[in-house]
Amino acid sequence: MASAAQTVQRRRVLRAPTATRLRHWGLRGVAVTYLGAMIVVPVAAIVSEGFSDGLTAFRSAMSSPGAWEAIRLTLVTSALAAIINAIFGTMLAYVLVRYRFRGRGVLSAIVDLPFAIPTLVTGVMLVAIYGPNTPIGKALGSAGIQVIFAQLGILLALCVVTLPFVVRTVQPVLLELDTAEEEAAQVLGASAWRTFRSVVMPAIRPAIAAGALLAFARGLGEFGSVVFVSGNITGKTLTAPVFIFQLANQFKPDEAAAVATMLFAISFVLVLFTNRLVRTERKEEADAA
């Protein structure tokens, strides 16, 4: 009797950890396979195809007409859009956190719209209101400003698409700020602007930078809205993602892969860097608390 009970006990003691361990490895295996298959394999394909012949594909791609202009255009417009949204995004975050007014919820929802609207539809929307056949488009046209099928349109599209990034990174930081520091500054004689500069800005600067970097990375790869709005004129309004697309359509997958890898490498490094920035900021806050 005793030995049977002992055996059962022993078996139970043995089974539990093995079962848990199996489950652990099973889950981890699933996750690893998922990520491996879905992420690693495609990336490997791109990189290997693009650089299987060394830099030949890359050089060949970049010798196409408009190639370097496309890269430059993409970098410049993405950077400008990121800066514009850094400014307005910070203002919007401030308004949403510090001001009380009816319709604040509506404003918050509007700011989140670009995350929901398909990028192509964003392009369509811009054409609908600023296109050459619209009243606003015609008025701007007569003033010499062309939006659609011009670089301004690209900038506008990128501004729309990356609008929420800075707002969303700055908002939580503003929410967490203790107004006591600002009150202390005021009592010590600092004006409202001085208080903002000395107390609020240092606190939100990292968040603004993180948001702007994310916006920039996002802008580099934007396709749907830009392809619709820009007219894709080689050397003038052709951006890097559209250029890559054209290369693929011309059955030059290796060249497309080469340029795509370069673009992707920049974005990926930015995203990684920004994530770490955000995580260390949060960790510092938690440690200090």
Partner 1 sequence: MRTNVAIRVENLTKRFGGFVAVDDVTFDAAEGKITALLGPSGSGKSTVLRMIAGLETPTSGRIWMEDEETTFKSVQERRVGFVFQHYALFRHMTVEQNVSFGLAVRKESKAEQTKRVDELLKLVQLAPFKDRYPDQLSGGQRQRVALARALAPRPRVLLLDEPFGALDARVRQDLRHWLDDLHRELGVTSLLVTHDQDEALELAHEVVVMHEGAIEQMGTPTQIYNEPETAFVAGFVGSANVLHGHVADGHVQFGEHRIAGADHLEEGVAARAFVRPHDVRLSTPESNGSSVEARIERVSTLGWLSRVVLRLDDGQVLIAELSNDELDGLDLGSTVRVDLRRAKAFTLPEDVLELPELAGAPAE
Partner 2 sequence: MSAVTEAPRLIDITPGGAEARRRDRRRKLVRGGIVAACLAYLAVVLIGPLVGIVVSALKPGFRTLTDTLTSQDVRHAFFLTFQITAVTLLVTTTLGAVTAWVLVRHRFRGRRLMNALVDLPLAMSPVTVGIACVLLFGRGGWFMPWFSARGIQVIFALPSMILVTIFICMPFVVRSIAPVLEELGTEEEDVARTLGASTVQTLFRVILPNIRWGLFYGIALTTARAIGEIGAVLIVSGNLKGKTETATIYVLTAFEERMDTQGYIVALTLAAISIVALGVIEVMKRRKVREVSR
User: How many residues of this chain interact with partner 2, rule: CB under 8 A?
Assistant: 90
Compute the least distance from the CB of residue 127 to partner 1, in Å.
45
The binder of 124, among partner 1, partner 2, none, by C-beta within 5 to 8 A per type, is: partner 2
**CB of residue 243 vs partner 2: minimum separation in angstroms?**
9
Candidates 75, 80, 83, 112; binder of partner 2 (CB under 8 A) is: 112
C-alpha dist (Å) from residue 58 to 65, 110, 131, 233: 14, 41, 35, 21
HSE toward the beta carbon, residue 17, CA cutoff 13 A: 4
Contact residues toward partner 1 (CB under 8 A) are 178, 180-181, 183-191, 194, 198-199, 202-203, 287-288
Closest CA to 217 of 241, 197, 233: 241
Give yes or no for residue 222 binding partner 2 (CB under 8 A). Answer: yes
272 binds, among partner 1, partner 2, none (CB under 5 to 8 A by kind): partner 2
Comparison of 186 and 198: residue with beta carbon closer to partner 2: 186
Q: Which is nearer to partner 1, 145 or 201 (CB)?
A: 201
Collapsed DSSP state (helix, strand, coil) of residue 102: coil
**Comparing C-alpha atoms, which of 259, 253, 221 is closest to residue 59?**
259
The item of partner 2, partner 1, none sharing an interface with residue 221, based on CB under 5 to 8 Å by kind, is partner 2
End-to-end CA distance of the chain: 59
Q: Which two tokens stand for residue 96?
A: 């949403």
Contact 115, 160 (CB under 8 A): no
Question: Could you tell me the smallest distance in angstroms from the CB atom of residue 155 to partner 2?
Answer: 11
* Interface positions, 133-162, toward partner 2 (CB under 8 A): 134, 136, 156, 159-160
- Shorter beta-carbon distance to partner 1: residue 90 or 232: 90
65 near 234, Cβ under 8 Å?
yes
Interacting span for partner 2 (CB under 8 A) from 31-39, 64-72, 202-210, 230-238? 31-39
**Is residue 173 within 8 Å of residue 132, measured between CB atoms?**
no
- Residues contacting residue 198 through CB under 8 Å, at least 6 positions apart: 185, 190
Q: Which of 88, 132, 146, 198 binds partner 2 (CB under 8 A)?
A: 88
Choice between 152 and 199, CB closer to partner 1:
199
